[in-house]
């Protein structure tokens, strides 16, 4: 029961996440893909998240994910 509540509460909190990562210089022992994947797992809270659209549903950029309604710079 508690786990179900946790899933529902997590699903209702609007968050954004990294979708595109560009690494210029990686001097660590970790591969670029590993770092990009781990960054994508971090949920970021934003006041703008409630007003944003999914990029695949965005009419303003035809799903490119490059406009102000579905992405953050």
Binding site for Zn ion (CB under 5 A): 58, 60-61, 67, 69-70
* Alpha carbon 39 to chain centroid, angstroms: 9
Q: Which CB atom, from 17 or from 23, has the smaller least distance to Zn ion?
A: 17
Least CB distance to Zn ion at residue 35 (A)? 26
What lies within 8 Å, CB to CB, of 56 at 6+ separation is: 63
Q: Which CB atom, from 36 or from 53, has the smaller least distance to Zn ion?
A: 53
Least CB distance to Zn ion at residue 60 (A)? 5
Q: Which CB atom, from 9 or from 56, has the smaller least distance to Zn ion?
A: 56
Q: How far is 30 from 52, CA to CA, in rounded Å?
A: 32
Per DSSP, helices labelled H in the chain are 2-12, 32-40
């Amino acid at each position: 029961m508690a786990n179900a509540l946790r899933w529902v509460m997590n699903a209702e909190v609007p968050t954004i996440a990294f979708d595109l990562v560009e690494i210029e210089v990686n001097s660590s022992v970790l591969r670029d893909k590993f770092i990009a994947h781990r960054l994508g797992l971090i949920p970021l809270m934003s006041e703008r998240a409630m007003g944003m659209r999914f990029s695949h549903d965005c009419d303003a950029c035809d799903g490119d994910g490059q406009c102000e309604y579905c992405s953050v710079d």
